[in-house]
Structure 1
């Protein structure tokens, strides 16, 4: 095994991963992520975005291929070692907000810090700073059941950023939010990450939500593609968000893609 180049804090090489039912999720995906970069992973539902993030974060182990983080071969680590790596170096945001119901908002946001041994007062101060950035500091003493769905997701984002992780994995973090709110939260997330030197790997469905990233990688059926043009899905509200204009596929609106080398 050869460690990735020094300028790549995270690198995947020829990742293959299958779901429990045997269906392929990743088929030979390779990529590198530079330190401090915001990388967007885009593609339609079922393209392998979540599986890629889970393999990079050590939540799942690929059947074949390698994952390197900061010179460490993540794919060779045992379950406990990967859990320690996630606790101390990674942050994770799910598309569905999950909070501890017995804790207040600020306690939920401060929980990762306190699990690392940070004192309660210092952890509370850090949590409140991030809650303020995400416009939910006014609910700091509330319980999760008292929050709107979108507010719970903002708290989850604050919780992931409170520890200032080396790499933040965000799996469609603004999926529960309305369009305008989604754009605002993504701007806050990416600006905060850049100001603290946090590397971000962001999974998102459409190019509009990927617009704040430094670079975009597109997946289709578990493979990296250079270009992806899908026909718009007509509906009562018009074309779906992120869809390309009709005819952009080059041949009467049919999908077109080309595989990366």
Structure 2
């Protein structure tokens, strides 16, 4: 094995992944992500974006290939070690907001910190800070069912940012949001990442979202391509085509 460059917090080489039905999801993808960088992984739906993020974060091991985090090989880790890595160093935001229904909003946002052993008082303070930044601080004592879908997604983003992860993986994080909310949430996320030195790997099929990143990696059918031209979100309904340069 060859160790990754020193300035790459994440590094992957020749990643291959196959779905359970035998269809390929990733076909030989290699990339590096620099420390503190915001990297957009762009491409149409079904291009392999989510699978790539899952492999990079250790949620699933690749079928073949290597994944390194801070020069440590993630692809050779066992399940428990990968789980500890995700808990202690990574944050994750799904496209759909999922919160623990029995907990209040602030308890949901503080949960990763309390699972690490942070005191309830400190975890609550960090959670409330991020909920305020994302304009849902006034909902902190409510239960998830009392929030709109957009408010629940903001709470999920606060939960991912509160522990100050080394890397935040965001899989279409603004998909449930209206356009007016989307820009504000993305500005908050990117500003927070830069001010706290958090590396962000952001999967998106929206060119406006990708434009906020430092760099974009484009995927098509599980392979890296030089360019994938995606229509803006408001124009996507009824259009299935995209142009590319391989």
What is the TM-score normalised by the length of structure 2? 0.96
Residue 183 (structure 1) shift: 1.0
User: 1:131-155 CA distances to partner (integer Å, 9 max, x unpaired)?
Assistant: 0000000000000010000000000
| Counterpart position of 1:38 | 38
Provide structure 1 residue ranges, at least 5 long, that are not aligned to the other structure. Answer: 244-253
The answer for the alignment partner of 1:135 in structure 2 is 135
1:185-204 to 2 correspondences below 5 Å: 185-204=185-204
CA displacement at 1:77 relative to structure 2: 0.4
Q: What's 1:83 paired with?
A: 83
For the residues of structure 2 that align with 1:238 and 1:189, how far apart are their CA atoms? 22
Are positions 1:213 and 2:213 aligned together? yes
Q: Residue by residue, what CA displacement relative to the aligned partner does 1:210-254 show, whole Å, maximum 9, x if unpaired?
A: 111000010000000002236x69xxx97328x8xxxxxxxxxx8
In the alignment, structure 1 residue 162 sits paired with structure 2 residue 149: no
Aligned counterpart, 2:13: 13
Instruction: Map 1:35-114 onto structure 2 (within 5 A).
Output: 35-114=35-114
How far did residue 255 of structure 1 move?
4.9
CA distance in 2, matches of 1:159, 1:149: 15
Residue matched to 1:150 = 150
Match of 1:248 in 2: none
What's the counterpart of residue 235 of structure 2? 239
Structure 2: segments with no counterpart, 5+ residues: none
Deviations, residues 36-75 of structure 1 (Å, cap 9, x unaligned): 0000000000000000000000001111110000011000
Two-structure CA RMSD over aligned residues (Å) = 1.6
Are 1:257 and 2:244 matched, yes or no?
yes
Structure 2: how far apart are the matches of 1:190 and 1:64?
32
Higher helix share: 2
Secondary structure of the residue aligned to 1:208 is: helix
The number of aligned residues is: 244
Query: What secondary structure does 2:191 align onto?
Result: helix
Partner of 1:246: none
Aligned to 1:227: 227
Partner of 1:175: 175
Larger Rg: 1
Runs (4+) off by over 4 Å: none
For 2:234 and 2:203, the matched residues in 1 are separated by 24
> 2:144 and 2:234 mapped to 1: Cα distance?
35
